[in-house]
Structure 1
Amino acid sequence: MPTETTMSREAVSAFLDEVFPQLHHGGPGPVIEAVGPLTATMRLPYHERHLRPGGTLSGPAMMMLADVALYAAILANLGPVALAVTTNLSFNFMRKPGPGDLIGEARLMKLGRQLAVGEVLIRSDGAEDLVCHATGTYAIPPRKN
């Protein structure tokens, strides 16, 4: 297991802002709180655009958080690979999160030359119970020497 990252939290955040400025369109987007060896923690600040009828946070908001958290973990550990792409995402919605920030904790279980596989645990800020468990696979483009 690696003991340090290739990119810092600040570097990953700046890279995401550069290549995915749309993450912040219409309100606050996900914020990287930490990166580490094979990990990333992200916060999705509460915004009414993430609500669905009934006052709960929407599935698409949790899907976006999970996808970006896994991508941030990949970037932190491999460097700026803009063309790493999601090939599979699977979600288990476990309980309805009320209005508030969401925290996504991503962990890469495999980080190879061609594929990365990981999981994200999503909780409401300050809560222990999971609201969502996600798994994902990413295709990593060949590195140019």
Structure 2
Amino acid sequence: MSLPAQAAMNAGEVQSFLEQVFEQAMHIKVEETAPGFSRCRLPFDTKHLRPGGTISGPSMFQLADCGLYAMVLGTLGPVALAVTTNLNINFLRKPGPRDMIAESRALKFGSRLVIGEVSLYSDGDPDLVAHATGTYSIPPR
């Protein structure tokens, strides 16, 4: 399956859809979508900190997963039952106590599986904090 020429859902539409079907991710903001791409933000909040003053691994993991889901939704449209089948994350360095950014890209977009990667950054810092790869299963239409 090739990527469509334009996004099926813009960032605002993906954000609204997530607020309806995925309440756990309401604190994550979808900033941009394009075919095979999304950019999401986890606004800084002390509830995301772990001892040592760094953003926790579970918070970064959720941002990576939500980023992939936003990329799938932006590309295909409102597919509520698209689910994560695999997600691996490598934590590369300590993130600063500020917003986290996730940029997700499709590596392969098939009719049943989407394989993508997510680059996680601290806002304002070009160096990677973490890198994730994941697979989403797309239900039959």
Normalising by structure 2, we get a TM-score of: 0.96
**How far 1:23 moved relative to its partner?**
2.2
Per the alignment, residue 20 of structure 2 pairs with 18
SS at match of 1:98: coil
Paired with 1:111 and 1:80, the residues of 2 have a C-alpha distance of 16
Q: Using the alignment, how far apart are the partners of 1:139 and 1:80 within structure 2?
A: 14
Structure 2 regions of 5+ residues with no counterpart? Answer: none
Using the size of structure 1 for normalisation, the TM-score is 0.93
Q: What is the rounded CA distance, in whole Å, between the counterparts of 1:23 and 1:44 in structure 2?
A: 9
Aligned to 1:66: 64
Give the counterpart of 1:116 among 114, 131, 135: 114
- Kindly provide the amino acid, as one letter, of the partner of residue 16 in structure 1: L
Q: Percent identity?
A: 55
AA matched with 2:103: E
Query: Cα distance, 1:109 vs. partner?
Result: 1.1
Q: Which runs of 5+ in 1 are unaligned?
A: none
Moved over 4 A (4+): none
Counterpart selection for 2:87 from 68, 86, 89: 89
Determine the structure 2 residue equivalent to 1:140: 138
Paired residue total = 139
Q: Which residue of 2 aligns with 1:42?
A: 40
* CA displacement 1:79-136 (0-9 Å, x = unmatched): 1110111000011100011210000000011111110000000000000100000000
